[in-house]
Amino acid sequence: MKIPILDLTRQYEAIRAEIEEGIRRVIQSGRFILGQEVEFLESEVAEFCDVKHAIGVASGTDALLLSLKALGIGPGHGVIVPSFTFFATAGAVHNVGATPIFCDINPRTYNLDPDHVRYILSTNHESCSSHHRLGIKIKAIIPVHLYGQMVDMDEIMTIASKYSVNVIEDGAQSIGAVYKNQKAGSLGHTGCFSFFPTKNLGAYGDGGMVITNDDELAERIRLLRVHGSKPKYYHRMVGYNSRLDEIQAAILRAKLPKLVQWTAVRQKVAAWYDESLGGIRNLNVPFCSDDRSHIFHQYTIRVLNGKRDALRGWMEEQGIGTEIYYPLPLHLQECFHYLGYREGDLPESERASREVLSLPMFPEITLEEVVFVTQTITRLLSGKGA
């Protein structure tokens, strides 16, 4: 049995008619950039997330970049980001001229540790082994809702208020996730989504969105995505070319009404995994906090005592797709060596990178496939494997 970590072709077969109708509608309209489909999608996402504004942009990375620019963050500023996340979070900070200030994670949720955020801010950001950050003014925090479960946002917002810093939610993996009855992206100054094809709500190319309740921020982001111009050819600021195209918007509009149902199926699949894997030695299933919902963009187990890589190799031999999100924390990446971090500075991020393994997870996966995955894991970790 061959089981991929993700199979988008199954999803397409189930919604082929809606997808093709949306694409046909765009082509017949003759308008391909920032037209009616984008406007409708923005309105629908704003309603889904319970916010005033949603602004379609070219990617999740650009959503972060434009949020930072709209908030006036640049050279001389620091932004607290988790080290254990996808590169774009810190890359966007660097690309506006600001400095990433790497923070450790909660080992159970893999999300930003509020206690470490508080420590960084309270000690004049002399974190880890480097003191070169002295003089950099920390202007923002980017909590990443990793794998589909939200950060403890009450704590983050309380800390942010105390130290007068902005909060940009990186919800690339968490659209539809809920924290105390509030949707991902709706609690910070802005929230950023990615519509990369592998996401729970994915386009058939790049795409992203910024959401906010702040009218002034929304207007700035709308300007920034079109070279800072309003009206056309009259530029209030230097912006970017970061526009969500009409075909991607039409595809996303076909998928958005299915998202709640797909999330429920992902949660059911996660329960199947939990039931079979919950008692296995040297393996931890995902922790789910009682005050928030987990939408399982990834179902990520933790394999202890140095057994992760052997398990992954064994599963590959059996035809099962897995992935390591993420094998090297950002503070140890070569491009950030100039910041002066050392191995051991962020121990929870480093330990997670050695132990996490994401299993096949998509709404169309079958119970039979999940059983095969869990039996394969059990065979190796119980000593009955290769």
Model confidence over 206-223: pLDDT tens digits?
999 999 999 999 999 999
Alpha helices by DSSP H, 325-366: 347-355
At 150, the amino acid letter reads M
pLDDT at 135 over 90: no
Is residue 2 included in any domain, yes or no? no
The residue count of the chain comes to 386
Is residue 83 within 8 A of residue 349, CB to CB? The reply is yes
Cis omega before residue 363 (within 30°)?
A: no
Same domain assignment for residues 263 and 253: no
19: CATH: 3.40.640.10
Residue 72 lies in a domain: yes
Both 148 and 244 in one domain: the answer is yes
Per-residue pLDDT of 296-348, as tens digits, reads 999 999 999 999 999 999 999 999 999 999 999 999 999 999 999 999 999 99
Quote the Cα angle for 322-87-259, to 5°. 60
What b/e readout covers 104-135, taking b as 16+ CB neighbours within 10 angstroms?
A: bbbbebbbbbbebbbebbeeebebbebeebee
Q: Are residues 39 and 103 in the same domain?
A: yes
CA distance 289 to 146: 13
Mapped onto helix, strand or coil, the DSSP state of residue 345 is coil
CB atoms within 10 A of CB 306: 10
Residues 250 and 271 in one domain: no
Q: In the structure, what pLDDT confidence band is assigned to residue 124 with cuts at 50, 70 and 90? A: low
Residues 240 and 149 in one domain: yes
Tally of domains in the chain: 2
Provide the angle, in degrees to the nearest 10, between the axes of the packed helices 367-381 and 308-317: 130
Distance, CA of 324 to CA of 263 (rounded, Å)? 22
- Domain extent at residue 372: 259-381
Rounded distance between C-alpha atoms, residue 186 and residue 82, angstroms: 20
Same domain for 37 and 156, yes or no, is yes
**Residues 269 and 215 placed together within one structural domain of the fold:** no
Whether residue 157 is contained in a domain is answered as: yes
If we measure between CA atoms, which residue out of 151, 77, 64 comes closest to residue 112?
Answer: 151
For range 64-80, the mean pLDDT: 97
- Determine the average pLDDT of the residues in 162-189: 98
Q: What is the pLDDT of residues 16-51, one digit of tens each?
A: 999 999 999 999 999 999 999 999 999 999 999 999
Closest to 70 measured CA to CA, from 223, 243, 217, 240: 217
